[in-house]
Structure formats: structure tokens, C-alpha cells
Amino acid sequence: MNPKIEKLVKQFAKLPRVGNRAAQRIVIGLLQDKTGRIDKLVDALVDARDNICACPNCGVLTDRAMGVCEYCRDSARGNGMLCVVRDLADVWILEKSGIFNGRYHILGGLLSGVSGVTPEDLNLQNLPARIRDEKINEIIFALPNTVEGKTTQQYIISVVDAAAPDVRFTELASGVPLGGDLDYLDDGTLSLAFGGRRTI
């Protein structure tokens, strides 16, 4: 394989959920394309690099010029409910399903002794202030049903409970199997799990 092509394949293969074979297919498709798709991809990547950032309030990726994301700006979402998720993909899944109309808080990962992820590595610094300022009365955990997800959930409960003891904590109910992630659930199952959430 040409060294330049191999370098490009390796870069695509580093992306989440893209293995070496998928990376090869992407690179072949781009290099053989005659419609200018590479130029459009490069332009979109540069534009995203220069103009997209994490919302300083919740962590959702947004346009740098807007300050905070559309969910934090939407006053209708200031309904006292805050959904805690692992990453942006979980927000997109919940938004696509249309089952939640509150605000989000992206952790950016899960606590893990094996991987060395500590509370300092997660987006938790402003959570107590958000609960106070946005008058949050329910925190909904939409985290994976794994050891890491449950550990993270319990840690957040202990931190928040000390600062805001009146906050109600809930988690997704039936439909989320042990070890399950949101992106493996269909909309019906997700709606059932969200609607039947239980108090922790």
C-alpha cells in the first residue's frame, strides 16, 4: 500500500467504531470519487475545527459564536429536569426519539479504575451550580447499565446530595439490559425505559 494512503487509512481507523477494514473502504471511496467529495469533507472538517466547541454549560457541541448550545438557550427546556449522559451520541439518540424535553449534562466518560478515569476527568465541576441556578428538581441518569455506569451514577448522587438534598434521582427502567448502551435500543424500548424510570 502506498505510504500516503496507508497514513490516511490509519487516521480513519483511529476514529471510534471504525476498524481498519472500514477505514480502507472509506479511503478508497474518497480517493476514487470524482464529485469533489474530498474538498467538501476537508472544508467541513476545517469549519468544524474552527467553529465548533463544547457548550460551557452542558458539554454539547455547539457553534462557538452562539456561546451556549440550543438546549441550554431554549427556555422551554428549563423545566427542572436534567438528563445526565455519557457522551454527545446519547444526546442525539434521546433527541431523535423525542422522549425528553429537558436539559442535558454530558459527562464525557464514566468512572473506571481499570481505565484510570477519575472524577477529575469527568465534566462535573459546574454540576452543583447548574442544579442551583437552573432550579433542577430531578436528575435522570441515562448511563449504560454497566459497573462503570452504576459507579459513576452513585458518585454523582453522593456529590449532588450533599449540595442539594431535595433533588430527586431517577434512572431508566425496564428495557435497558445489563451491560446495555442507549445506541443499541430502538425508540420504543427507549421510550418505555424513559417513561418508566424509577427513583433511586
**Domain span including residue 14:** 3-51
Q: In this structure, are 31 and 126 located in the same domain? A: no
What pTM did the predictor assign? 0.79
Q: For residues 112 and 143, what is the distance between their CA atoms, to the nearest angstrom?
A: 14
CA nearest 160: which of 182, 137, 185? 137
Is 63 a domain residue? no
Give how many domains the chain has, as a whole number.
Answer: 2
Q: What is the pLDDT of residue 163?
A: 78
pLDDT digit string, tens, across residues 70-89: 999 999 999 999 999 999 99
Q: Are residues 42 and 83 in the same domain?
A: no
Domain presence at residue 43: yes
* 85 in the same domain as 120: yes
117 lies in the same domain as 180: yes
Q: Which pLDDT score, from 0 to 100, does residue 151 have?
A: 94
For residue 78, the 8-state DSSP code is -
Bridge partners (DSSP) listed for residue 112: 117
User: For the segment 15-52, what is each residue's pLDDT rounded down to a tens digit?
Assistant: 988 999 999 999 999 999 888 888 999 999 999 999 99
State the chain's mean pLDDT as an integer. 89
In a domain? residue 68: no
In a domain, 58, yes or no: no
Cell of 97: 426519539
Looking at the fold, whether 107 and 166 belong to one and the same domain comes out as: yes
Residue 21 burial (CB < 10 Å; 0-12/13-18/19+)? exposed
CATH number of the domain to which 37 belongs: 1.10.8.420
- The packing angle between helices 187-195 and 88-97, to 10°, is 90
**161 in any annotated domain:** yes
Does 102 share its domain with 7?
no
How many residues can be counted in the chain?
200
Residues 93 and 26 both lie in one domain? no
* Residue 117's pLDDT band (cuts 50, 70, 90): very high
In a domain, 182, yes or no: yes
